[in-house]
Amino acid sequence: MIARLIDSLATTDTMAQIFSDESVLRAMLDFEVALANAEAHLEIIPQWAAEVISGAAQAEGFDTAALAQATFRAGTPGIPLAKALTDRVRAIDPRAAVYVHWGATSQDAADTALILLLKQAQPVLQSDLATLERALVRLSQQHAETVMLGRTLMQAAPPVTFGLKAAGWLAMIRRGRAHLESNFAEALVLQFGGAVGTLAALGDKGLETSRILADKLGITCPDAPWHTQRDRLALLVCSLGVLTGTLGKMARDVSLLMQNEVGEVAEAGGEGRGGSSTMPHKRNPIGCTLTLAAANRLPGLVASFLSGMIQENERGVGGWQAEWSTVSAVVQAAGLAASSMAEVAEGLTVDTERMQENIAATRGTVFAERAMMLLGGALGRDAAHRILEEASHRSTQQKRHLAVVLSEMPEVTAHLDAATIRDLEDPKRYLGVAESFRQRLLAKDQQSTPRTERK
């Protein structure tokens, strides 16, 4: 079973598969096979031995439960994996067993396996983010002129457009994706240093072995091993945390707009999606819920990784051992958020009539700022503010439109004509440069070319 019930709200099927026991095992075995073949190519070990190792390094037949138990005792998965692989090789050809894991250390196998898992996760994240971005572009274009209430401190404020709101979400996600791609490019590097990061066991062939090994695994060969230098992974973890927070901001907005009292947008429904066990009428924001749950978990996970960066000398104790579960949880949470919000955006319905109704329900008080600015030139800002504060209070108390109240105030009519007051509550007349901002956000190319180290 890929995902247990306890993890079902913390990952997706695809991400759970990537970080499953079987996938982790295959990644470590891929390292061992590539290592043997790289060393055979350089005649460090015999070619026939590499062939035996490659044949034995098939995930089928390995007891992952036993490996997990042995890992608990060894403090690293690399040691029991190398032992189990050696036993399998020995059963085929005892002469080849001595060449298993030649010149490597257990952390090399574990760290490189983690990098290979991250390499698998990257296109999944990119695909979901691309889907989300396309949906947001469509929503922004469709609703470029859809006027809705702006809201500050959870209160009604002057109008914005839904197109601008969607473009704002898009811009944040584009920036997050650009940082993520750059940090993936930096992080997807081979770990191969042997006991203390010098590859002394391979003599003068260590660097060339590293280059061939990285090439076989399809990752970058760094300038040197990085056993206790966790900055690349830290930047990736942080960017995943920031991206998930960004997705959480969008989820918060959508879930608030879905409240019955607001009712301006709605997630797509469907069989088993968004219902209630006791209230059949409900249409819950499930995609937003999952995203917000992920965004709530991420800060603590990111902090956990950062606190573990302070590792001792050439090989650390405790910090490195804490990373596997942390990185796995971070990537899966980010993947869940990206997948959920892509689904939300693709299926989002926008109730433009309700948006108009909600503006009208304020009886024009959200246009008090506009009236104040119109009066400010003649009366000064402070005086205009006092007048509009009083007018807004009357409008609320008497449940009358602000424009009507203003039309009865001599200190207002002395400076604003009837047509100006009448048009005061037209939301499209008080959007400023919202459309210019929207277009700039959609046109802005937030992508950057990732810098990578040469292999």
**Residue in the structure block whose two tokens are 């396996």:** 113
Using alpha carbons, list the distances in angstroms from residue 32 to 47, 52, 323.
14, 12, 21
Closest CA to 193 of 311, 75, 109: 109
Give yes or no: 174 in active site. no
Say which of 8, 276, 325, 436 is annotated catalytic: 276
CA separation for the pair 35, 45 (Å, rounded): 10
Whether 139 and 345 have beta carbons less than 8 Å apart is answered as yes
CA separation for the pair 439, 435 (Å, rounded): 6
Helix axes 368-379, 381-398, angle to 10 degrees: 140
* Category of 61 on φ-ψ map: left (φ > 0), alpha (ψ -120 to 50) or beta: left
Q: What is the per-residue burial (b if ≥16 Cβ within 10 Å, else e) of 191-214?
A: bbbbbebebeebeebbeebbbbbb
CA separation for the pair 379, 376 (Å, rounded): 5
Give yes or no: 211 in active site. no
Say which of 90, 175, 273, 315 is annotated catalytic: 315
Strands 155-161 and 147-152: antiparallel
Active site residues: 276, 315
